Structure 1
Amino acid sequence: MRKIAQEDLVTSIEDALQFISYTHPIDYVKALRRAHELEVNPAAKSAMLQLLVNSRMSVLGHRPICQDTGTAQIFIKLGVEVQFYRRDGKSLQSLQALINEATRNAYTNPENPLRATTIADPLGARSNTKDNTPGQLFCEMTEGNLLEILVVAKGGGGDVKARFATLNPSDSVADWVIDQLPGMGAGWCPPGVLGVGIGASPEQATLLAKQSLFTPIDIDLLRAKGAQNAEEQLRLELFDRINGLQIGAQGLGGLATVLDVKVSALPCHAATIPVAIVPNCAATRYVRFNLDGLGPTKFERPPISTWDGIPDEFHLEAATKVNVDALDKKDIQEWKVGQTLLLSGKILTARDAAHKRLVDLLGQGKDLPVSLKGRFIYYVGPVDAIKGEAVGPAGPTTATRMDKFVEILLSQTGLLGMIGKAERGPDAIAAIKQHQSIYLAAVGGAAYMLSKAITHSEVIAFEDLGMEAIHEFELKDFPVIVAVDPSGKTIHKAFALEPLK
């Protein structure tokens, strides 16, 4: 029998959530560096450099890699010979209560506050729980006296792109997976790892796919030794075929869409092949550890040599400096797809909830709380600032979620342009073309680096929405790439569709 204090479980998970908020796994950093060195597409290469610079800045600054600090997902393997006790003599708590306590403590830590993303009553008021609780618990009883914990902070950009299907026994799993990739878009911030779960039942296949992500990147080792079974053969085939699509980093085109493909399989019904895919984004965050009853786990920073040669800051000489305070429609007509800009001046922020309120006010014939005429909206929900910061990590969110609002805002408010991540859908592109607007893409997963280009932040509307409130940011050389120009041309060719009639 192994006795473990419940306080140690709480402390370890709390510390793990803090640790992974600013620390990439070493294998991910190494794989991203290899992909960056091999990349020939300038836009994709620049995006990966920004991700690497952000990774270095985050681990040194102990600030989140991404503004989407994720939902706390805790996987526990609990040996039947493990016995919990309380040092304080209080009654034992449930595992869910312990997970919630750890999540609450980690996400409200004043030294490194993490963004509260979880909402309650998803079909009703959708109110933010303010502390990111409840944590998501997955528990498996095992033999022996080991307590193994996997702590994951999974961002919405990756999980929302999960796919599931039940195939026939004669269908090709590889073909189905390849068919899904373009439709997933680039909102999951490639390059990352793709998990594939096969067999069992629908829910187990999806869980298999997700859990497969949290193992070291080793596709190069697999290629060197050769596939030994059908799962390994599928990994190699999918890795080559997915990267052959040339979706590339951030969907900008290029050689690296995935850094690895993981495949996990279980027995299933003879008439089916349940198959699920779940991607891990550029903000890959997880750590695995055991508790032995001797106290909480201590997490040590990887050797800083992991980031040797990566610049302290991102610089790009071949960029055009732009003062957004002095722009009109005539100026943006000169910008071309693929052009890199460094923005300075004042912009507004708004995400899903703020967009809905703005459009509702317009529909009711009411005045907006802030004029959008001639302004840029940045799709972002930042992390709270700490002492010395204008704003916490503030990277872009997926632009397609705001597509349904684009026509209304462009036609009724005089909005000049938008900043987000990944591609736009056909209706949004058509509206941008019709109104001679512009869409600029920032690098998803480079949130801490991007926040350093924000010199001032102030909430100016919808304060009750928390991180989704409308802020006014003042920028200094904020890097973006022209993703959709006023002619309707888009850089995200892998996802380009004809505008809807």
Structure 2
Amino acid sequence: MTTIKQEDLIQSVADALQFISYYHPLDYIQAVGRAYDREQSPAAKDALAQILTNSRMCAEGHRPICQDTGAVVAFLKVGMNVRFEGDMSLNDMINEGVRRAYLHPDNKLRASMVDPPIGARKNTRDNTPAIIYTDLVPGDRVDIALAAKGGGSENKSKFTILNPSDSLVDWVVKTLPTMGAGWCPPGVLGIGIGGTAEKAMLLAKESLMAPIDMDELKARGPQTPTEELRVEIFDKVNALGIGAQGLGGLTTVVDIKIAEYPTHAASLPIGMIPNCAATRHVEFHLDGSGPAVLTPPRLEDWPDVTWEISEQSKRVNLDTLTADEVRSWAPGDRLLLNGKLLTGRDAAHKRIQELLDSGQGLPDGVDFTNRLIYYVGPVDPVRNEAVGPAGPTTATRMDKFTEMMLAKTGLIGMVGKAERGPVAIEAIKKHKAAYLMAVGGAAYLVSQAIRSAKVIAFEDLGMEAIYEFDVVDMPVTVAVDSSGESVHNTGPAEWRIRIEELTKAG
């Protein structure tokens, strides 16, 4: 009989969550490095360089890879010869570990969990509760797999029940483009096959924990039907040309993971969940000898890639920005933002709309005239930081507010991640505005451009408050210009053709 002390489990969970907040799994970051070496699209290559540079900076500085530090998902396999010494339930121990990790004073992580999920949606402030799955298994130890799953990738999860005779590959290839780029490719695609509806999704989530081995698999050749399926899906997904951040390129996924379970003869349940550029997970075990020991990866094992400002980049003075200057920007232009930048995301936009609809107007000190808004919910600062990691959030969530913001506030542009939908693009075109894209998965790199930050409205919303940032050379790309042309449409379309030509040429 093995005895696991309550404190050992709590501390192990806390340590592991801190660990994955700033250390990418080495297999993932090396796979992105290989993708960088192969990439031929300049826009995608630049995005990959930012992701790789951000990863090394976070590993060195022990700060979060992404401002969205995720919902905690825990898979536990508890040996039946284990007893716990303590007065807390197993779930309470896990949640206490989450609480300690997310409130750590030297690396405070962003709390994103809200309760209840509808209605008030009040932030729990410590990122509890975790999503916990527990299996009782033979043995005398506890195996724990932890992940911190960001909302951008989780929101792109897909589920279907196919007919047994239907093609899984066809469904994946048809469905993936509908996910857009809000899941921050390149990443790993987890696919669960079989069981029931909820089992298929659970299989997909758990499959994302498996080591990345696609390059090795392709080098030796698939040896099972499942491996053949992985390779086929991998090749066909990358042939779509979606590319890093959806800008068009050779690599959309770095691996395909598949987990299977027997299912009803009449059914073929399929779950599909992507992991993003902020892939974060770790596995460890407890055997009664004390807290888990986590070995940091060696910095020399990171790809030797450093992002640098492009000579083609144009500096923009946000404090003197005009509508005419915005109209001069072309899709794909690389800009460096300098000056005062306002922020706001879902909750702030909803409150702005309520204020305007009621006739109250904007809060004192909030003026969007000839200004840009940055869709971000930053991590709290530590030490001498102006702000913690502050990468962009998924812009499509603000699509329904875009017409209101452009028509009623004087706003002339927005900054976020991934594509905009038709409603937002139509509003941008109508008002001759622009949408700029920052790289998702480069939050710490972006935060280095922010020299000061202060809350100017809606302080009660926490990370969703309206801030005013003072930025210096913050890198962005023109994703939708004033005519409504979107690089997230033109880029993948161009690279789909190029990849087809490259494949034919051998």
TM-score bin (small chain): over 0.9
Matches of 1:305 and 1:53, distance apart in 2: 13
Which whole-Å deviations, capped at 9, do the CAs of 1:224-257 have from their partners, x for residues lacking one? Answer: 2222222111100100000000000000000000
* Residues 57/304 of structure 1: CA separation in 2 closer, same or farther (3 Å cut): same
Which whole-Å deviations, capped at 9, do the CAs of 1:385-444 have from their partners, x for residues lacking one? Answer: 011100000000000000000001101111010000000001100110110000000000
Aligned-partner SS, 1:492: helix
In structure 2, the partner of 1:89 is none
Within the alignment, does 1:22 sit opposite 2:16 as a pair?
Answer: no
Match of 2:256 among 257, 261, 272: 261
In structure 2, the partner of 1:338 is 332
Matches within 5 A, 1:110-121: 110-121=105-116
Matches of 1:96 and 1:465, distance apart in 2: 28
* Residues 18/32 of structure 1: CA separation in 2 closer, same or farther (3 Å cut): same
In structure 2, the partner of 1:328 is 322
Within the alignment, does 1:194 sit opposite 2:192 as a pair?
Answer: no
Within the alignment, does 1:83 sit opposite 2:79 as a pair?
Answer: no
How many residue pairs were aligned?
491
Matches within 5 A, 1:413-452: 413-452=409-448
In structure 2, the partner of 1:484 is 480
- In structure 1, the gaps of 5 or more residues are 87-91
In structure 1, the partner of 2:141 is 146
Aligned-partner SS, 1:430: helix
TM-superposed CA distance for 1:310, in Å, is: 2.7
Aligned-partner SS, 2:384: coil
In structure 2, the partner of 1:232 is 227
Within the alignment, does 1:357 sit opposite 2:358 as a pair?
Answer: no
Q: Is the 8 A contact 2:247 2:492 kept in 1?
A: no
Aligned-partner SS, 1:110: coil
Matches of 1:443 and 1:314, distance apart in 2: 14
The one-letter code sitting in structure 2 at the alignment partner of 1:466 is G
Matches of 1:470 and 1:234, distance apart in 2: 47
In structure 2, the partner of 1:377 is 373
* Range 138-147 or range 375-384, more displaced: 138-147
- In structure 2, the gaps of 5 or more residues are 494-506
TM-superposed CA distance for 1:105, in Å, is: 0.6
Matches of 1:422 and 1:72, distance apart in 2: 24
Compute the TM-score of the two structures, normalised by the length of structure 2.
0.96
* Residues 490/367 of structure 1: CA separation in 2 closer, same or farther (3 Å cut): same
TM-superposed CA distance for 1:26, in Å, is: 0.6
The one-letter code sitting in structure 1 at the alignment partner of 2:245 is Q
In angstroms, what is the RMSD of aligned CA positions? 1.2
Matches of 1:195 and 1:26, distance apart in 2: 18
Matches of 1:27 and 1:166, distance apart in 2: 32
Which whole-Å deviations, capped at 9, do the CAs of 1:308-330 have from their partners, x for residues lacking one? Answer: 5233x643222111111111111
Which whole-Å deviations, capped at 9, do the CAs of 1:3-54 have from their partners, x for residues lacking one? Answer: 1111101000000000000000110111000001111110000000000000
Matches of 1:496 and 1:152, distance apart in 2: 30
In structure 2, the partner of 1:368 is 362
Q: Is the 8 A contact 1:198 1:275 kept in 2?
A: yes
* Overall identity of the aligned pairs, in %: 56
* Range 438-447 or range 317-326, more displaced: 317-326
TM-superposed CA distance for 1:495, in Å, is: 9.5
In structure 1, the partner of 2:465 is 469
Matches of 1:359 and 1:93, distance apart in 2: 44
Q: Is the 8 A contact 1:426 1:496 kept in 2?
A: no
Q: Is the 8 A contact 2:337 2:473 kept in 1?
A: yes
In structure 2, the partner of 1:49 is 49
Q: Is the 8 A contact 1:251 1:494 kept in 2?
A: no
Matches of 2:150 and 2:398, distance apart in 1: 18
In structure 2, the partner of 1:37 is 37
TM-superposed CA distance for 1:171, in Å, is: 0.4
Q: Is the 8 A contact 2:5 2:288 kept in 1?
A: yes
Q: Is the 8 A contact 2:186 2:245 kept in 1?
A: yes
Matches of 1:452 and 1:186, distance apart in 2: 24
Aligned-partner SS, 2:274: strand
TM-superposed CA distance for 1:496, in Å, is: 9.4
Aligned-partner SS, 2:147: strand
Q: Is the 8 A contact 1:183 1:495 kept in 2?
A: no
* Range 380-389 or range 142-151, more displaced: 142-151
TM-superposed CA distance for 1:494, in Å, is: 6.6
Q: Is the 8 A contact 2:163 2:267 kept in 1?
A: yes
Match of 1:279 among 274, 284, 307: 274
TM-superposed CA distance for 1:300, in Å, is: 2.5
Q: Is the 8 A contact 1:231 1:265 kept in 2?
A: no
Match of 1:215 among 202, 205, 210: 210
Matches of 1:213 and 1:134, distance apart in 2: 21
Q: Is the 8 A contact 1:343 1:478 kept in 2?
A: yes
In structure 2, the partner of 1:171 is 166
